[in-house]
């Protein structure tokens, strides 16, 4: 009887320890996913900032820089669905991501694809002059805004 109680107790402790370690690993994985998402979007912002400055007339228009930055954004945007693939809601970690990213994932991924297309159009518009560039910046901005309105906390 003592052996059975001891075995049961040891089994319970082992399961508890393993479960705790699995939860800790899940939390660590979720935290890394959130940090990766935030990092990617900061890099996108790094390249988009000067473009917005040019469109607003705060920075002199530089077609080569606009084209380069827009092409970099177009390279980064397809990564967005990848870095949002892990649903981190259950971990209770702080994030600006709304549940809709995972509840309406097809729409989310579609919006990322549209933003990629708009970034490529923005790169092409940079060589067409300031007027075409300004319109393309507006289209890119509306693609970003559309996703932020639906999938990012204000």
Domain spans in the chain, listed from the N-terminal domain onward:
35-151
133 Cβ contact list (under 8 Å, min separation 6): 54, 55, 61, 63, 66, 122, 125, 126
Distances (CA, A) of 96 to 37, 102, 138: 10, 13, 24
Whole-structure pTM value:
0.80
pLDDT string in tens for the chain (154-residue length): 556 654 554 455 445 444 444 455 788 999 999 999 999 999 999 999 999 999 999 999 999 999 999 999 999 999 999 999 999 998 888 899 999 999 999 999 999 999 999 999 999 998 998 899 999 999 999 999 999 999 999 8
The neighbouring-strand residues paired with 97 are 152
Q: Which CATH class is domain 35-151?
A: mainly alpha
In sign, the C-alpha dihedral spanning 85, 91, 95, 97 is: positive
Burial annotation 71-108 (CB, 10 A radius, 16+ → b, else e): bbbbebbebbbebbebebeebeeebebbeebbeeeeeb
């Amino acid at each position: 009887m003592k052996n059975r109680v001891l075995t049961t107790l040891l089994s319970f402790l082992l399961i508890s320890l393993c479960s705790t370690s699995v939860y800790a690993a899940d939390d660590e994985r979720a935290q890394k996913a959130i940090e990766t998402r935030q990092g990617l979007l900061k890099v996108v912002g790094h390249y988009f900032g000067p473009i917005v400055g040019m469109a607003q007339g705060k920075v002199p228009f530089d077609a080569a820089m606009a084209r380069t930055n827009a092409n970099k954004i177009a390279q980064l945007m397809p990564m967005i669905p990848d870095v949002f693939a892990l649903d981190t809601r259950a971990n209770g970690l702080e994030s600006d991501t709304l549940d809709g990213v995972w509840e309406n994932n097809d729409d989310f991924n579609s919006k990322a694809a549209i933003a990629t297309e708009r970034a490529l159009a923005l790169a092409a518009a940079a060589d067409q002059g300031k007027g075409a560039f300004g319109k393309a910046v507006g289209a890119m901005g509306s693609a970003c805004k559309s996703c932020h309105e639906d999938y990012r906390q204000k």
